[in-house]
Structure 1
Amino acid sequence: MLIQLAAAPVFLGLFYIYVRDKYEKEPWRMLFLGLLYGIYTTAVIYAVGLGLEKIFPHVESPIYTSFISSAGVEEVTKYIFLVLLIWRNGNFNEPLDGIVYGVFVSLGFAWIENIIYVTHPVMGGYSTAFSRAFLSVPGHGLFGVQMGYYLGLAKFFRGKKHFLLAFFVPYLVHALYNYFLLEKFSFFWIPFWILEVWLWWSALRHIKELVRISPFRE
């Protein structure tokens, strides 16, 4: 049952973004590869994390965990895999595709990460599954929207700054998202929920914008 609970929010997110891509659907093979690339990132992120611990021994803190070992390693890895998957691929033929593949890669990672957390003998269980279903998994999907949005702009509007923003924006919001959750100060719930609302508003606005300017709309 825990495995199903870990998968449910992932597949809801994948279904939603697939439905929103209404003018020119992506091939199933590419969508599967996007999900598979996201799953692959889990192993790379784990290996890099172990390497960082050996090279730079450290005491875990909310700042280090949020900005380096979590958002830093995860978003760099997802960014590299996403670029390798779509940048020179002919199926990346409209800006919205950046968001579609960004979400598939991000939720591929979130799927495996969620299984690890909810089945953990100490941290796992139903409460973990439900809390992550509403916060962590959607969070990864929203970070993927930000990454894919700016990558789509970089590809089709030749904006070098967008290529940088495709990494920097999801990295920053991911780091802040985790930091507000990990810090023990109760008043940090205020900026956390402000960030949460902004992420949803921004993601829905980005999707609507790129659907509207799709070259396949007519």
Structure 2
Amino acid sequence: MLLFSLLSVAIAPGLSLLTYLYLRDKYDAEPVHIVVKMFVMGIIILIPIMVIQRGLQLWAADLPWIVSYIESAGVEEFFKWFILYHFIFNHVEFDEPYDGILYAAAISLGFATMENILYAIFTPVSFSMMFTRALLPVAGHAIFGILMGYYLGKAKFSKRRKYYLFISISVPVLLHGTYDLILLSLPATWIWYLLPFMIFIWIWGLRKMERAHARSPFKLYIKEDEVNY
């Protein structure tokens, strides 16, 4: 019964955030089955990521910045980006900037949810610890995905495609790596640095969501329909 409750707490944050982001799609809602597919892909990529990270643990130097920016952030964000680029970037349903945000967040939250489930099963945890994971790691993966998707959207609908593709992987890796570096380098006082960091990047992410909505081509169609009505 306790395990079931912990699993519920592990799963709920990811699904709640994904539902919120899906409902924020104001102008042209994406097919649910594609969003779910990306969420499931996020779960699946956890397996190769764990294998590669284990290999890096055996061969790479155990330095905080290497663990943070390469072993953790570099590997995880690259796999997410790789799947998005090859499965979504040229997809016909990726037809407005916000779509990149939604699909990137879906794969990130799938990964974070599965990571949370494994954490609940194999690590002695309490409800307070799982609540903390909902506020920090799961929310962190969500915002890394939001920013990745925002810049993928810029790449999709901009002439500076290569530049924004580079930014779409660089920004999540840098932010994710900084998040991990704070945890590794400041084990006693990390909370005082991580909370302001999370607040800052969430404000940044929410503003990017509004900018993506503002550039939607469907916004103009809706306004014209309202005028005609």
1:156 deviation in Å? Answer: 0.3
**Preserved contact between residue 66 and residue 176 of structure 1 (Cα < 8 Å):** yes
Mapped pair 1:15 → 2:15: no
The TM-score with structure 2 as length reference comes to 0.88
1:45 deviation in Å? Answer: 0.4
**Preserved contact between residue 118 and residue 128 of structure 1 (Cα < 8 Å):** no
Runs of 4+ in 1 over 6 A off after TM superposition: none
1:143 deviation in Å? Answer: 0.2
1:190 deviation in Å? Answer: 4.3
Which shifted more, 178-187 or 160-169?
178-187
**CA distance in structure 1 between the partners assigned to 2:83 and 2:141 by the alignment:** 15
Match of residue 166, structure 1, among 160, 165, 168? 168
Which string of whole-angstrom CA distances, capped at 9 and with x for unpartnered residues, describes residues 46-98 of structure 1? 121133234x1544x43232112211110111110111121111001111100
Aligned identity (percent) is 37
- Higher radius of gyration, 1 or 2: 2
Match of residue 2, structure 1, among 1, 6, 24? 6
1:57 and 1:71, CA in 2 relative to 1: closer, same or farther beyond 3 A?
closer
1:152 and 1:53, CA in 2 relative to 1: closer, same or farther beyond 3 A?
same
**Residue 157 of structure 2 aligns to a residue in which SS?**
helix
1:186 deviation in Å? Answer: 4.9
Count residues in correspondence.
215
Match of residue 183, structure 1, among 164, 182, 185? 185
Gaps of 5+ in 2: 223-229
Aligned to 1:200: 202
Q: CA RMSD in A?
A: 1.6
**CA distance in structure 1 between the partners assigned to 2:37 and 2:123 by the alignment:** 31
Aligned to 1:69: 71
The TM-score with structure 1 as length reference comes to 0.92
Aligned to 1:78: 80
**CA distance in structure 2 between the partners assigned to 1:186 and 1:43 by the alignment:** 31
Mapped pair 1:120 → 2:122: yes
**CA distance in structure 2 between the partners assigned to 1:6 and 1:41 by the alignment:** 18
Which string of whole-angstrom CA distances, capped at 9 and with x for unpartnered residues, describes residues 73-128 of structure 1? 10111110111121111001111100000100000100100111122244x33232
